[in-house]
A and B are shown apart, each in its own frame.
Chain A
């Protein structure tokens, strides 16, 4: 906390007051949108917490929220990169079915160890992605058409591979989704200590990363968020993560393995998009493809790589889906592409490309997940659930658009 006192003198309240409000808000820039989506998630959680008489946030329900929605989050990570680059991928659901079928076969019929099957699944996903990436990047066929074709091709192949349900009776494999981290640190009261430690480490890592980013900005004399807002953000995240860890630690198993996997993917891809040259090039390609190309960005390679990437992530989603069901079916992954696309757009990605964030897509996926779970707990008819989710998608994007227009005119 000593860092607070270091920061305080650089931000005297007098200086703060001189800046007109409009400028301060515009200084908030893209962050405002980001905070908005987090706020929406919290509102929806609180709403359903009330509507379900507190059942939504029962520890075991929170665990199954992550288990049920892990595939959307994994796919949304890949999808937001595709959307930022100005493309779309309609094939991920079919790829999930195909890869899921091959992974299940490789364990049951070919006798591969579960971890080899997992690697194989990711690799096949990447190969499928390379196939689609080739047509999109190097032949120049619009992604919409290539992946629409892919949707048919891979669903067809999935039906060939999985003629009937393939059961997977490998506990190691199935525990990828159903399992929890072993609680080798014991319990504190009813709480699993491993979960609490992971939560504490997450908060610490987030705070350190934020402080370092802020120091970096300050070192280069760049605009930083108001100190109050910065602290509010840290406290907000600490409370949210802390609360979540306590909930999870009270669940039957403790820390779900799947949440660790998804968490690692989120951090890795946020880093890739935010801090690497490749990430910057994805945004550039989506923002102005000819300009990026003239500037020396290898746009074709970028296009190719993001489709290889979403293919590999579809492989991960296939493993998750198969492990969760304990079986592969040819109909697996139905509408997964739509879930992932919806998550991205709720999370603030732009249809025109160039704009979108991993964190936004994840929050978008969580909003859809909480809606699903809340409505299910309230035993709302599934048909109505679908209609409600559709409306939420429409309103979220409309709200975003109206906000942007207002910001543009002021």
Chain B
């Protein structure tokens, strides 16, 4: 089952590449694609986010890290339109905006892969990619068009899915993650939010997903990667934004910052490097 036909893998031509580039039209202005200022969100007495700032530019992967309960997923859900912030400003490509619902987020070009993969096991790959935004022609589903697009998007990600008609239930965890990421590419997104995309994946599958994330950056998207795994974060991200207790706790350049400095910011330790932090690795 897991054997992959070599002919279907990796023959991603420049022509197809161009097609995808055209589908995903990017603005490469110096203005951040997504800019959030002073975002706060309370759940009853619990202060999930308290004045968080976040900037993400096109062609950039920003990692959002923090301990459990630091507010990463809440912030992701605010960006995805699943939660409305209690206060704060959101600008997309310089335009002040609000994201009241998931479908509003989609219209604004924000696509999200949630931690608990929002996929339907009983449907095939194409159906999942287009779920909730099926393309119609004359009142009926245009399955042919959707399948063709599905294949193009999967190829753009260099993903190894045998067929777009494969039911999700027969795919591996890594392949499902690829489908979830490919889903974000349907409908001209500008900003992609990935909530723990490598959780529960094997080493090989993780590597595959990380390549997909790099492809998203190459395609010119602004990518927000939420992760626990510092190795993954350092492998793909350009900047690392640390959240702690619902507040910003430092932004680091991924290429130059030491592992320990980031860990210290996550745990709130003021000292840079201790043996205990090494042990945490």
Judge: A and B partners, yes or no: yes
Whether B122 lies near A354 (C-beta < 8 A) is: yes
Bitwise interface map of A from 274 to 299 toward B, beta carbon under 8 Å scored 1, else 0: 01110010011011101110111100
Residues of A contacting B167 with CB < 8 Å? 29-30
Select the residue from B120, B127, B163 with max chain A CB neighbours within 10 A.
B120
List residues of B (109-139) whose CB comes within 8 Å of A's CBs: 114, 116-123, 127, 131-134, 136, 139
**A223 on the B face (CB < 8 A):** yes
Segment from A36-44, A123-131, A214-222, A322-330 that makes contact with B: A214-222
Instruction: Return the chain B residue nearest A297 by Cβ.
Output: B132
Interface size on B, residues (CB 8 A): 32
Shortest CB distance A163–B (Å):
46
- Residues of chain A within 8 A (CB-CB) of B164 are 222
Q: How close is B184's CB to chain A, nearest CB, in angstroms?
A: 12
Report, nearest first, the 7 A-B pairs whose CB atoms are least far apart: A296-B132, A287-B120, A295-B132, A354-B122, A287-B122, A291-B118, A295-B131
Tell whether, in the assembled complex, residue B122 and residue A355 are in contact, meaning their CB atoms are under 8 Å apart: yes
Q: Counting CB contacts under 8 A, is A26 at the interface?
A: yes
Contacts A/B (CB < 8 Å), 11 sampled: A29-B167, A220-B147, A222-B163, A223-B163, A275-B141, A275-B143, A277-B136, A284-B120, A286-B122, A288-B119, A291-B119
Which residue from chain B places its CB closest to the CB of A271 in the assembled complex? Answer: B140
Pairwise interchain contact B102-A294, C-beta atoms closer than 8 A:
yes
- The answer for the CA separation of A389 and B234 in the assembled complex, in Å, is 63
What chain B residues lie within 8 Å of A354 (beta carbons)? 120-122
CB of A357 to closest CB in B, whole Å:
12
- Asked whether A287 lies within 8 Å of B123 as measured between CB atoms, the reply is yes
- Mark interface residues in A216-250 (1 if CB within 8 Å of B CB, else 0): 10011011000000000000000000000000000
Chain A residue total in the interface (Cβ 8 A): 27
B141 pairs with A276, CB closer than 8 A? yes
| B1 close to chain A: CB less than 8 A | yes
Query: Closest residue to A353 on the B side, CB-wise?
Result: B122
B148 at the interface (CB under 8 A from A): yes
Apart from A275-B141, A277-B141, A296-B102, list 10 A-B contacts with CB within 8 A: A222-B147, A275-B143, A277-B134, A283-B127, A284-B123, A284-B131, A291-B120, A294-B114, A295-B133, A355-B122
Query: Across the two chains, which residue of chain A brings its CB closest to B117?
Result: A291
Which of A286, A288, A296 is packed against the most chain B CB atoms within 10 Å? A288
Task: Assess whether B103 is interfacial by the CB under 8 Å rule.
Answer: yes
Residue pairs across A and B with CB atoms within 8 Å: the count is 80
Q: Which residues of A contact B117 (CB under 8 A)?
A: 291
Given A276-B140, A296-B106, A296-B132, A288–B147 Cβ distance below 8 Å? no
- Answer whether residue B272 sits at the interface, using C-beta atoms and an 8 A cutoff: no
Q: Whole-angstrom distance between the alpha carbons of A277 and B127 in the complex?
A: 10
A29 to B164, alpha carbons, bound, how many Å? 14
Name the one of A30, A223, A284, A286 contacting B127, with C-beta atoms under 8 angstroms: A284
- In angstroms, Cα B131 to Cα A288, docked, is 11
One of B82, B120, B143, B170 near A288 (C-beta < 8 A): B120
B-side contacts of A288, CB under 8 Å = 118-122
Determine if B37 is an interface residue (Cβ-Cβ < 8 Å). Answer: no
Task: Give chain A nearest CB distance to B98 CB in angstroms.
Answer: 18
| A223-B165, A277-B134 given; A294·B82 CB < 8 A | yes
Interface residues of B in 42-92 (CB under 8 A from A): 82
**Cα distance A223–B167 in the bound complex, in angstroms:** 13
- The contact of B165 among A222, A277, A283, A290, by CB within 8 Å, is A222
